[in-house]
Every structure is written in C-alpha cells, then in structure tokens.
Amino acid sequence: MRQPLIAGNWKMNKTVAEGEALARAIQEGLQTQMVEVVLCPPFIAIPAVHAVIQGSSIRLGAQNLHWEDAGAFTGEISPVMLKEWCQYVIIGHSERRQHFHEDDEMVRRKVAAALRHGLTPILCVGETLAQREAGETGAVVATQTRRALEGLSPEQAARLVIAYEPVWAIGTGRAATGEDAEEVIRRWIRGTLEAIFGVEVAQRVRVLYGGSVTPENIAEFVCRPTIDGALVGGASLKAESFLGIIHETARVKA
C-alpha cells in the first residue's frame, strides 16, 4: 500500500522566523503517523525549519534545484547543497515553467540530478486552461511525464512522486473535480509509467493532486484509490488549514 503524502509548497512566502513558527505549529498539531508530511520552505529557511522538525516524522523538501553539482551558476542551488538538509525537492512546477522558462529538457536534467544524490523528486505536470479547452490535457500531461523520465531505470522511476497540477487550478480557488483528476492520473500519468516501465512501477509511484486544495475539498481527491495525497500551496501557509488537510487525508485513507 502506498503511504499517503501531503506536501506543503510555501513558495516565496514566510521569513525565517515565520517559517520556524509555522513548522513548530504544524509539528505540535500533527496527530497522525499514517500520512507522510513534507514541508517545502524557501531556500533561506531550510536550515531553520530543519532544526525545528529534527527528530519528528516530518520531512523537508526544497522548491527547486540546479542539475549541476557546482559551478558558475549565480543564484542557483545544487543537489549537493540540498541533500544535507532535504529528502524531497519539487521539480517542474508550473510557475517555474511559466515564469522562468523551464522546459521539459531542463526538468529531465533536474529529475536525474535529484535522484543521483538521493533526493526524491516531486515532479509536477499539468495543462493550462487553453490546453484543457483545446482537448489537449492527455497529450500535454503524458508528454511532460514521459520526457521527464527519459533515461531513468525502472528502479529510479519507482522512487518518484508525481504531482498532477492543472495550471488553471493553481492559486485560483478553482479546483478540478476528483473525477477529472483521477481520470488524468489513471490514464495519462500511471498509463505513461506503465507503458515505459511496466505495471509494478506504475503502481508503486505515488501521485498527488495539486491546485486550490483545502481541508473542505481534499476528501474528494484522496478518496480515489489512484490519488495518494496532495501538493498544497496557499493552504499550507497556515497551520490550521494544512493540518486539516493532513488529518482529513488520514481519515479518508484509513
């Protein structure tokens, strides 16, 4: 059975002190061990959050990384720097693709770099509203998934977490339906994994939903057997709402 996972992407929010306080509140309010919890603060807050959650079951993730181990890449963070602190790293988020022009080849190189250094990628895939309205959801999601996994062995692919995040639902308050998300994940994410790596890998990979997730709507997604949790944005910035999502996930999955 795949362990449910709830990851909080804080994006460009929270000072170091605010991040410490939020991590402490989440740790103190956590009432389940059934769900794996990952916090993804800004780079500057990673050591401080690490100190707060050390010794607990909460895991730490980064929001991005560079594919090289070191070099003349001003402003970038390498997997070598992250692996001292983190277990997870978000790769290919739509905001990185949109605002920083990351393409599928850059995402592929980042996934490979993370795995090379023992970090678990949370690979983000998803379609824009225009692509959805044009009937291109399946092609977009399958292509993003396939290109990100090029060159990986089945053993490497099985270590991935994939987050289906329809771009039109991120930060808009407009979530996909559980039925829609399940269909995309079953056909175009797990289906692509199965076509490349086989049934066993496709069933081992944890797949999350992301896009305006709240304590009120999380059950609609995690009640589906093919959806293993959520990558949470805005609702992860308050302990009460993030804990609500975690505890509701535990209740439903139990």
Residues annotated as catalytic are 93, 165
Burial of 55 (0-12, 13-18, 19+ CB in 10 A): exposed
Instruction: Check: CB of residue 221 under 8 Å from CB of residue 4.
Output: no
Q: Do residues 222 and 249 make contact, with C-beta atoms less than 8 angstroms apart?
A: yes
Helix boundaries (H) for 30-177: 46-53, 79-82, 94-99, 104-116, 129-133, 137-148, 154-157
> What does the block give as tokens for 12?
């460009």
Closest of 213, 107, 224 to residue 160, by C-alpha: 107
Choose among 191, 236, 188, 176: nearest CA to 7.
Answer: 236
Beta strands in the chain (DSSP E): 5-9, 36-40, 59-62, 88-91, 120-125, 161-164, 206-209, 229-232
Angle between helices 239-253 and 16-29 in degrees, nearest 10 = 30
Contact 23, 49 (CB under 8 A): yes
**DSSP 3-state percent helix, strand, coil across the chain (nearest 5):** 50, 15, 40
